[in-house]
Amino acid sequence: MPAARLAIASPGPTLTPAQLELTAWQRQVQYQISTGESTPSYAFCLPAAGQPMHWGYYSCNGFSASVKADAPERQDPTYLWRDLLQLHSAFPLHCLVGGGDQLYCDGVFRAEGSAALKAWGEQTEHSKKLSSPWTDEMEEQATAYYCAHYIATFSQADVSTALACIPQLNMWDDHDIFDGYGSYEADMQGCPVLQGLFGVARRFYLLFQQHTTDAFNAQHKEFLGANDGSSFHYLRYMGPQVVLLGIDMRSERSKARILPEATYELLEEAVAALPTGPQHLVVLSGVPLIFPAVPAAEGILGGIARLARGMPRFRSLVRRTGLMDRFDQPEILDDLLDGWVANAHKGERLQFIRLLQRFSERQNLRVSIVSGDAHVGGVGRLYSRPKIKPLGDDPLFMVQIISSAIMNAPPGHQVVKMLLRTNWARRVDERTKEKMVRAFYPTHPRTDKLIAQRNWCDISLVAPPFAPPTVPQDPNFGGLRFTMRVENARHRRGCAEEVYYIIVPRHPAAPRALVSTGTHHGEAAKSAVPAAVALPTRRWTTGEASVVH
């Protein structure tokens, strides 16, 4: 158990990280925290050595300011957190992955956040905003806001219980900083006020979500790359067979690029260095890679932004309508520019897809993608052109799970219908196509490839002890099962009302590696049964859905 300590404040309490060894059996670890007045006890679950991990994925744990007070989601904000805890009590989760927006810090620009930042945002002259200094008053108010907001968000009933009993892995998105960070014009993004605010948000993100500090990380090298504080990418084993690649798409983002060119080389080198054991690579992309696009709206709002920057009177007029935000661009433009499907990121999106394809082809890894941000649930896929049947035999077949939001309210049904009007199978390049998938039929119409309902995703390997007894020749043995647990706010019954299963098979050229069960004594805990070489695709007789059809 290392003695390194993380300072929360100076002076103030400290945290002491600990390293725990896995044993031949899954086990519960109890711990206590002494607060001076009481000593509450908590417990979390560790998998057995060699056992696949059972884990969860969620995003968007908070509310946008636009969500009305009488919205059903606000009446019971932690409904799906209770569903998660119920599942955990019967089928322990070894880890919980936050895919972005673990809290919403947009209130820093309102009176309850920082009066100084609110006044800055209300200035009408664009040039004055750009030249305004980052003041001690702003630093003090922002620090107080982020600290209090983290404590309030993570102390909510059900949320705090989950965080206390399930180990966390997180990656931030814009609302962990403030709305739209990274998608503003370069002069606004780089101005002293926004950079000063980013520094405060970054400090609290490291402490509350990564459980580290710059000084601690400089010594222990917890992330990929130089660990100089410029970005926070990571690779983590989710058991021997599954690796999670968390990609930081905020720290170095600009309006022109989501990731710097050097990051592509860094990620490629990191994955290339993996040993031959893992068979699944799950890539965490905060914003969806496969998603319907609205290019006309992007163009119109971009034109308004250009006019507003060049014409002060026009900017003043548009601000009075409520269309223009405090950063002097149309209110929803940052949301459109944030995504991979934005026209501004078209070239880089192809670069990113080809990077994932190299992961698959060079190392025989089945690549899957988990995303959030959009406040809808959905399943998309990339696949070869021409199409290879069955899809399980396609090395370029990749599934994307959009799981959002666990707390925030979904967009209106008309917004989702508008998005679905632009949804069809598309050509990505000369050898790749993409499409959204009918994952929710027949509960929802065949055309509903996005669902405007709160959700989170449960993830486990299709192998003992996480599946009925099977043999390696079964078509989905060794696949990765994504279980979307969905709320129906009109007909709540105390747990997720809708459940959808998406099974992703292993790569067709995956080696005959061992798939451990983690259920035996001693050295036998590391033994396993041979994995299937090929994965023919057919529907399970149990009725479990698979996107490979």
Region of 462 (left: φ > 0; alpha: ψ -120 to 50; beta: rest) is beta
Residue 485 β-bridge partners: 456, 499
pLDDT score for 413: 77
Question: Angle at the Cα of 297 (from 294 to 303), degrees rounded to 5?
Answer: 140
**Confidence class of residue 299 from pLDDT cuts 50, 70 and 90?**
low
Torsion of CA 218, 223, 226, 228, to 10 degrees: -50
Whole-number percent of the chain with pLDDT over 90:
60
pLDDT score for 302: 52
Q: Which of 146, 135, 122 is CA-nearest to residue 192?
A: 135
Q: Is the dihedral of CA 505, 506, 512, 513 positive or negative?
A: negative
Q: For the chain, which domains are there?
A: 50-504 (3.60.21.70)
**Confidence class of residue 295 from pLDDT cuts 50, 70 and 90?**
low
First and final C-alpha spacing in the chain: 48
Strands (DSSP E) found in 196-277? 234-237, 242-246
Q: What is the pLDDT of residues 191-229, one digit of tens each?
A: 999 999 999 999 999 999 999 999 999 988 999 999 999
Q: What is the pLDDT of residues 122-145, one digit of tens each?
A: 888 888 999 999 999 999 999 999
pLDDT score for 333: 40
Phi, psi dihedrals of residue 145, rounded to the nearest 5°: -65, -50
d(Cα 240, Cα 238) in Å, to the nearest integer? 7
Least confident stretch, 182-191, 286-295, 479-488, 524-533? 524-533
Q: Tokens 């000084």 appear where?
A: 215
| Contacts for 543 with CB less than 8 Å, ≥ 6 apart | none
Mean pLDDT of the chain: 83
Q: What is the pLDDT of residues 15-69, one digit of tens each?
A: 667 788 999 999 999 998 877 778 889 999 999 998 899 999 999 999 988 888 9
**Confidence class of residue 310 from pLDDT cuts 50, 70 and 90?**
low
